[in-house]
Amino acid sequence: MPVENTLEQLRSTSLQELEECTSKLELEEWRVKYLGRKGHVTGLLRKLKNLEPLEKKIFGSQANQLKGFLEERLVLAEGKLMAEETLAIGENDRIDVTRPGRLINVGGYHPLTKIRREIEEAFISMGFQVVEGPEIEWDHYNFELLNIPKNHPSRDIWDTLWVDYRNERGERNMLLRTHTSPMQARIMEQEEPPIRVIVPGKVYRYEATDRTHEWHFHQVEGLAVDKGITFADMKGTLYEFARKVFGSERKVRFRCDYFPFVEPGVDMSIDYLAPGATTHDWLEIMGAGMVHPKVLEGVGYDPEEYTGFAFGIGLERIAMLKYGIDDIRLFFDNDLRFLRQF
């Protein structure tokens, strides 16, 4: 067949087939068939090599024109197909842009995390460091090094959850820490004074739960040991803490209290106006005191050389006061209606 005819035929059949393509896949198949490396147009161009120079020139340019023309038509056909597809989406899934959007839930911090951070900030600004310790603890640290010997009645202060484990002497000596105080002994055992640390963490008690009691809650322990630390240093530090967290107008009150690991021991209250109440009340927020000489001796310090103070703050207590929460169990229920308020 003369080249002219071949060209003409290629043009009409390829165009007709292009018209009939209804998907991207078919368009691609069409491209391979005509314009691909082994396609008809390419094949034709290759064949032109064997023609006379004049014919080659004429048909060569015609064949190249055809190639360019088909490439253009392919681009047009692709565009048309895309437009049709877009239109079809519009028809089938018409979007009403006036409808209200879906609410995106943004996470927030738990109220206890917020309070813990606030307390940490207050003490960090006074030169304290933040450290953490184990929740599963030895009797040795939780009680003995804190001047609470075995079988001593003061152990009754802490209803203990024991781990079901016995040492080689058959003694049950592992527990869930009942307070963060064991970290006092752990830190002093490892460090030399001066020491100024706070220890936030979780503690456990074998206790029935009600509005004001939980079997697990949080404390922030504090410890400062150095030469010449006095009771006045303790009062000043804790007063400053109360003002930083509860505002500069807050009054504080110290009263005598008993904890085996401090002497003298106190509890600290802040004045508090309950929501709806007309008169201020005193609310206890922590225990504190001067580190007992026996505790200092137990970790190898000389009580003649060093003195110090310690304190233990109940985190839930502070959060309940600050946010006006009246049931401690709410902190652990994970009820979004509660958590969203903060």
The catalytic residues are 158, 179, 205, 219, 262, 310
Judged by beta carbon, residue 181 or residue 269, the one nearer ligand DAH is 181
Q: Which of 11, 21, 2, 3 is nearest to 65 (CA)?
A: 11
Q: Which is nearer to ligand DAH, 295 or 330 (CB)?
A: 295
Q: How far is the CB of 259 from ligand DAH (least distance, A)?
A: 4
Token code pair at residue 273: 């106006």
Residue 3 or 296 having the CB closest to ligand DAH: 296
For residue 251, what are its two tokens? Answer: 């009054």
End-to-end CA distance of the chain: 86
The sign one gets for the Cα dihedral 102, 107, 110, 114 is negative
Residues contributing to the site for ligand DAH (CB under 6 A): 179, 181, 221, 259, 262, 287-289, 310-312
Strand arrangement, sheet containing 129-130? 129-130, 195-204, 216-226, 307-314, 281-291, 262-272, 252-256
Task: Give the nearer residue to ligand DAH in terms of CB position, either 111 or 287.
Answer: 287
Shortest distance in whole angstroms from residue 254 CB to ligand DAH: 12
Closer to ligand DAH at the Cβ: 221 or 316? 221
Strand duo 174-176 + 195-204: pairing? unpaired
- Neighbouring C-beta atoms of residue 215, cutoff 10 Å: 15
> How many angstroms separate the CA atoms of 294 and 105, rounded?
53
Tokens matching residue 237: 């530090």
Question: Is residue 291 within 8 Å of 307, Cβ to Cβ?
Answer: yes
Is residue 264 reached through a cis peptide bond, with omega within 30 degrees of 0 on the bond before it? yes
